[in-house]
Structure 1
Amino acid sequence: MSVIELENVSRAFTVSSRTGLRRTRREVRAVDGLSFTVEPGEVVGYIGPNGAGKSTTIKMLTGILVPTGGTIRVAGVDPSRNRMKLAKRIGVVFGQRTTLWWDLPLKDSFAVLQKMYGVPRARHAENLATFVELLNLGDLLDVPVRQLSLGQRMRGDIAAALLHDPEIVYLDEPTIGLDIISKARLREFLAEVNKERGTTIILTTHDLDDIEALCSRVMVIDHGRQVYDGTLAGLRASQSAPRTLVVDLASSLPAITVDGATVTKVDGPRQHLTFPTSTSAAPLVAQIAANYPLVDLSVAEPTIESIIARLYTAATPTP
């Protein structure tokens, strides 16, 4: 059975504005007719531009907001009607809003959470030891939360969200404020939690490296509507973003001529050519090798950033 089910879900807000002495009100749909399911153990990237409706969706999934229309079931229950029951089955990290106690040492926040969720002491100690090691929190346990850096606090928040063994975890920008090494370690940690515990993870992020490293499935939302749901490979194919052939020649030359490809950049002896994703690079390479002093070449696939940008452009309504 699906752990998350949304059917034709909408959420509207009333926005007031004033023009002179006249006040007007209008309805804004943050989420509009959203339907999808998530299976146990999936790691889903839920992405979109600012204001697309991502946070509103997560708030409805956790029961913080009630949908204007449609139905939601998470772990078999209606989130808005069963918030207390659902809280023990989910973990949440909301971006820069900490769930830790600001003036308490990190270890005391973890102790409070053990009491709140009623986690058996032995299980809490086991989880805590695991997460402290994997997230490198040992030197931070006695530090008040207010003295932690953003990246340190984020690691603490992620540990806090997982200490009670939730079935589902919602993570909003989990690698914000982390350096490259810490990001890699956190991604490894999340992949391990998913693999070993079967935890379902819903990840919202602007760091698309997180998506590529962790997610088997991507959902893209724009203006409250779903514009894509599938694999990263399927997303790349759906947008037909061009590939790039990077050619190194023995000497600097004007833009070379190759059937089926277009030179987009000349940088001394290096030239960049774009060609359709559906086209094989082999005939292009053969042409270049036969007609130009080729030294080296490489094929660059379209970046996920460029593909998402194309998708947003296609989904944006024309004024």
Structure 2
Amino acid sequence: MIEVQEVGRTFTISRRTGLLRRERRVVHAVQNLSFTVRAGEFVGYLGPNGAGKSTTIKMLTGILAPSSGRIQVAGLDPARRRTALARRIGVVFGQRTTLWWDLPLRDSFELIRHLYKVDRVAFKRRLDELTELLGLGEFLRTPVRQLSLGQRMRGDITAALLHDPRVLVLDEPTIGLDVVSKAAMRGFLRSLNAERGTTVLLTTHDMGDIERLCHRVMLIDHGRLAFEGGIDDLRATAPEESSIEDVVARLYARGAQAPDQ
């Protein structure tokens, strides 16, 4: 469902070094990255801040084009077929919302129906299903700006799934949620993957999310893949309470080769 082959992404950064002088340097955000995600997998994509996770997600969704290498998501080149790809994937950014801030939740969903050209009957059936599963019934007439973080996250998840995507990309979907909301979100995502077979790629700093949801994990550091394996392999590396930074440090302590600085 997702194929990444020897992908690189560089940025040129300019900074002032004098009154009339500027210095340019090339930053390798992602370097020679290769991995695959099979249909129906729930895969964790981890890494410390600045490791290249967000750059990878932006390339997978077509926001950025790779500087080198090849990417296919749901059979499409994201950078070349971004509009067509949008109909096959759903994306949720935990720190940003795709909903309209001043509109009631239901009106945001109706606008999304028009954007994705979802049949009205299919839309109603899907919205009713998601509303029940995520407990959104009492909030549908509430403006998005008045929702709690947990309620808004459930709204964003619903918005990402209204067009029944084959792939769901989640960037920190449980960030800032309380224990109850986090447990509910994990339960829903687990069911979505198990019962509907939706392919899920999850980025998170929460090791609890990884432990409870993912079949397999990949860890990126300094733009390169530093670890790939099962949950048991990761669990042997560091306890659940560890941060991603701790996991990276422990991996290198056990003999993993650190990417070039």
TM-score category of the 2 structures, normalised to the smaller one: over 0.9
The percent of aligned pairs where both chains have the same amino acid is 62
Q: Contact between 2:224 and 2:259, CA under 8 Å: does it hold in 1? A: no
Q: Contact between 2:13 and 2:24, CA under 8 Å: does it hold in 1? A: yes
Corresponding position of 1:280: none
Corresponding position of 2:83: 84
Three-state SS of the structure 1 residue aligned to 2:31 is strand
Corresponding position of 2:248: 311
Q: Contact between 1:236 and 1:304, CA under 8 Å: does it hold in 2? A: no
TM-score (norm 1): 0.76
Corresponding position of 2:161: 162
Amino acid at match of 1:32: Q
Q: CA deviation at 1:102?
A: 1.4
Q: CA deviation at 1:312?
A: 3.5
Q: CA deviation at 1:77?
A: 1.2
Three-state SS of the structure 2 residue aligned to 1:17 is strand
Q: CA deviation at 1:233?
A: 0.8
Q: Contact between 2:46 and 2:244, CA under 8 Å: does it hold in 1? A: no
Corresponding position of 1:248: none
Q: CA deviation at 1:173?
A: 0.9
Three-state SS of the structure 1 residue aligned to 2:200 is strand
Q: Contact between 1:110 and 1:160, CA under 8 Å: does it hold in 2? A: yes
Q: Where in structure 1 are there 5+ consecutive unaligned residues?
A: 242-301
Q: CA deviation at 1:151?
A: 2.0
Alpha-carbon displacement from aligned partner over 1:170-219 (angstroms, at most 9, x marks no partner): 01111122211111111111111111211000011111111111000001
Q: Does 1:11 align with 2:37?
A: no
Three-state SS of the structure 1 residue aligned to 2:65 is coil
Q: Does 1:71 align with 2:8?
A: no
Distance in 2 separating the partners of 1:318 and 1:75: 32
Distance in 2 separating the partners of 1:69 and 1:213: 34
Q: CA deviation at 1:107?
A: 0.3
Q: Where in structure 2 are there 5+ consecutive unaligned residues?
A: none
Distance in 2 separating the partners of 1:318 and 1:77: 31
Corresponding position of 1:297: none
Amino acid at match of 2:183: A
Query: Over aligned residues, Cα RMSD in angstroms?
Result: 1.8
Q: Contact between 1:11 and 1:31, CA under 8 Å: does it hold in 2? A: yes
In the alignment of these two chains, the number of paired residues is: 255
Corresponding position of 1:26: 25
Three-state SS of the structure 1 residue aligned to 2:32 is strand
Q: Contact between 1:4 and 1:73, CA under 8 Å: does it hold in 2? A: yes
Amino acid at match of 1:114: R
Amino acid at match of 1:4: I
Higher relative contact order by CA 8 Å / sep ≥ 6: 1 or 2? 2
Amino acid at match of 2:12: T
Corresponding position of 1:58: 57
Amino acid at match of 1:216: H
Alpha-carbon displacement from aligned partner over 1:101-147 (angstroms, at most 9, x marks no partner): 11110000111111211222222112111211221111111111122
Distance in 1 separating the partners of 2:133 and 2:55: 31
Three-state SS of the structure 2 residue aligned to 1:305 is coil
Q: CA deviation at 1:32?
A: 0.7
Amino acid at match of 1:11: R
Distance in 2 separating the partners of 1:310 and 1:213: 17
Indicate how the Cα distance of structure 1 residues 34 and 143 shifts in structure 2: closer, same or farther if over 3 A, else same: same
Q: Contact between 2:11 and 2:27, CA under 8 Å: does it hold in 1? A: yes
Amino acid at match of 1:133: E
